[in-house]
Amino acid sequence: MRATGRAVNDIYEKHRARCNAVGKYVLLVGLGAAVVIYLLAGGKPRDAASSRIDAGNVQQDLAEVSKSYLRSMEYYGGKSNVMAYELRLWIDGLFQGKTLAYTVGVVSLAVALVFFLLARLVPPGAAPEDDASGPPENSA
């Protein structure tokens, strides 16, 4: 049993309204959380000397990361080891302080955009008008 064109349009409209509502909710909650995180974050970011890196069981100051340390990392693990180390530091920085607020804001904006685009996938009145199943037949 197939739904009629009007019933399918109603389903599409409900889908569109639901996706728009979820997108608005995600945007509102995400940006609100980003603002709260931004306001509660410390006034200025930590400087390099007071930052700590947790490399497994060994903790070391960023100030101790010298050229010789990076050179030995490159010697034992190659350039990819140094790049992975720097990538890890960058990702760790995304989840601290005011940068976390920016991350939450951008992620909530991206998720809301996905829901708004999902709402626009089916144009209004796109439901088939006939109940014929299968491809149209040629009369040749």
pLDDT at 58: 44
* pLDDT averaged over every residue in the chain: 77
Q: Tell me the CA distances in angstroms from 27 to 68, 106, 131, one per residue in order.
A: 46, 10, 39
pLDDT at 75: 86
**CB neighbours of 84 closer than 8 A, spacing ≥ 6?**
77
Tokens of 43: 């006034």
More confident site: 54 or 104: 104
The dihedral built from the CA positions of residue 29, 30, 34 and 37, taken in this order, carries a sign that is positive
Tokens of 62: 């960023």
pLDDT digits (tens, 9 = 90+) for 56-80: 434 455 545 677 878 888 888 888 8
Is the pLDDT at 81 greater than 50, yes or no?
Answer: yes
pLDDT at 55: 47
Is the pLDDT at 17 greater than 50, yes or no?
Answer: yes
Using pLDDT thresholds of 50, 70 and 90, give the confidence band for residue 50: very low
User: Dmax of the chain from CA atoms?
Assistant: 82
Whether residue 108 contacts residue 27, with contact meaning beta carbons closer than 8 Å, is answered with: yes
pLDDT digits (tens, 9 = 90+) for 104-138: 999 999 999 999 999 888 666 555 555 455 556 66
* Burial tier of 6 (Cβ tally within 10 Å: 0-12, 13-18, 19+): exposed
Is the pLDDT at 51 greater than 90, yes or no?
Answer: no
